[in-house]
Amino acid sequence: MASTTINPAEYQSQLDEKAARIQNIFADFETPELEVFASPAEHYRMRAEFRVWHEGEDLYYIMFNQETREKYRVDQFPAASRLINDLMPLLVEALKPVKALRHKLFQVDFLSTLSGEILVSLLYHRQLDAEWEKEAKALKQRLNDEGFKLNFIGRARKQKIVLDQEFVIEKLQVNERVLTYKQVENSFTQPNGEVAQKMLEWAVDCTQDSQGDLLELYCGNGNFSLALAQNFERVLATELAKPSVDSAQYNIAVNNIDNVQIIRMSAEDFTDAMEGRREFRRLKDQNIDLQSYNCNTIFVDPPRSGMDEGTCRMVQGYDRIMYISCNPETLKDNLDILSETHRITRFALFDQFPYTHHMEAGVLLERK
């Protein structure tokens, strides 16, 4: 997507088109009125990645047209956060005269936050040495002296140098509460910070009258788990990726939440454990008794491929199902099964990815 295609004047019309499209996708289901959550019209992406182009003494960011694969120069990127845009020109100008930092640099990744922290990953087609580390430290100090809260990571083949941490600390406002999240480089985080806050508030609103415990599959860094904990006696959450589990444990502690338990386990393995088909040592090691939980509600936020049929059948066993989907087509496929036993009582569109065809959907289902 070219930066020149972002036209804030067209934002509302593209959002209206998405709302019509998602209602058409789910036309075969009885859905309540669609709740639409808009994004800022620009400066909404907390992450951005740019290739780096070397041209004589010049150095600049480039992106590629996805259809033609033609490259184009990018000096500013209106889709990215203001923090990324503020840093982009300063960083590239600082890299140009320093051979140790620019030599065989081919990509720059930015991870920013609403809280003002930013992490920059510099990717190289060469091994990094002590000279690189010395110059990177000096540049980090200079940029931070100019008011940034910045850390660097240098990456090369089988090499990673962290100056001084490989994560940012994000703070999200959820109604009257501020929640703190560790977000690690190369781990999944919601790309649109403002819309992420709206998603959390929607999920809290949907479950505010809950009783008993919550089961959550695919919990990531605990993004939803922490916000929803206030509405349940206990939360039992699963996640397979170790960096996300480690972040979730940090986030539970830093937010002083004492009723959330994270298990490192796939949704498929957890289904086997819940149904007694297999025993898992990690559950015993963490002293987790699945039978002690009184889960009437289950929350799922699966990958783009959606849930497999076995997981769908397991999810049907719960009175209420909250489902966040980054792929309405696989959500529709899953709803073919879930709607056998449940009806949709809340239906939402979250515009995480403005000016693209991607849509994030949320549904709350309750047993018929």
Residue of 309, 338, 341, 340 lying closest to 323 (CA atoms): 338
The token duo for 172 is 């999200």
The distance of Cα 172 from the centroid of its chain, to the nearest Å, equals 13
What count of other Cβ atoms lies within 10 Å of the Cβ of residue 36?
A: 14
The token duo for 1 is 């997507």
User: 66: buried, middle or exposed (CB in 10 Å: 19+, 13-18, 0-12)?
Assistant: exposed
d(CA 139, CA 143): 6
**Beta strands 117-124 and 105-112: pairing type?**
antiparallel
DSSP 20-64: HHHHHHTTTS---PPEEEPPPSSS-BSEEEEEEEEETTEEEEEEE
Catalytic site residues?
A: 326, 360
Query: Is the CB of residue 191 less than 8 Å from the CB of residue 45?
Result: yes
Residue of 239, 286, 113 lying closest to 184 (CA atoms): 113
d(CA 266, CA 271): 9
| Sequence-ordered list of residues with C-beta below 8 angstroms from that of 110, at least 6 positions apart, any chain | 47, 48, 49, 80, 84, 87, 88, 118, 119, 120, 121
d(CA 312, CA 127): 46
Q: Per the omega criterion (within 30 degrees of 0), is the bond before 145 cis?
A: no
